[in-house]
Amino acid sequence: MSEYPYLAALLPMLSFGETEFPSSERFLEEAGKWLGEEEFDVLSGTGIGDYTSTDHPLELVAEYCRFERRIRSDIAAYVESRRAGREHKTNAFPTSYLKDTTPLEAEQRLLRLRWDYIAAELNTHHADLHALIVYRLKVQILERLAAFDPERGGDHFRELTDVASIPRQQRAD
């Protein structure tokens, strides 16, 4: 008999932007008690930043990696076009996610895009390894959001832009 329903029953529901959620460490620690070694390896090896495993044997992981690759390709093309002074229309998400916004806002929008994709496209299982992978991806998104400190980030941004505005010969490199 599968242990997935028991583990799934222990996990709190997650909502985008919430601040109270189990850490990745805590989630994996609990999952390790219920899963076999092979399943645990798949779960612990899955992450929101993975875009290389597009041929993963588990279609859910491969599908997410293809989605992540589309996002990253669009960002790279957008940045390259902007450097060349050209406009670029993104395909994986609205161009407004990157245009006329702060880096923090852009990152938050892209994390929301990932969350919505996971919820809509990948959240079709409720008590199996797929459901646990979806849960892990969501926890990682929440951890990334929680890592943002707007005040500290704003100070760092202002510091960088202040340095960038000083003529090179006046800088104390």
Q: How many Å apart are CA 143 and CA 141, to the nearest integer?
A: 5
Structure tokens at 160: 């960088």
**pLDDT (tens digit per residue) in 69-113:** 999 999 999 999 989 999 888 888 888 888 888 888 999 999 999
Q: How many Å apart are CA 87 and CA 116, to the nearest integer?
A: 26
pLDDT (0 to 100) of residue 173 = 52
First to last CA, the chain: 64
Q: State CA 129 to chain mean position distance.
A: 19
**pLDDT (tens digit per residue) in 85-95:** 998 888 888 88
Reported as a pLDDT band with limits 50, 70 and 90, residue 162 is low
pLDDT (0 to 100) of residue 1 = 41
- pLDDT at residue 161 is higher than 70: no
All structural domains of the chain with their residue ranges: 4-170
- pLDDT at residue 60 is higher than 90: no
pLDDT (0 to 100) of residue 100 = 82
Looking up tokens 């041929």, which residue turns up? 55
The dihedral through the CA atoms of 162, 164, 169, 172 has a sign that is positive
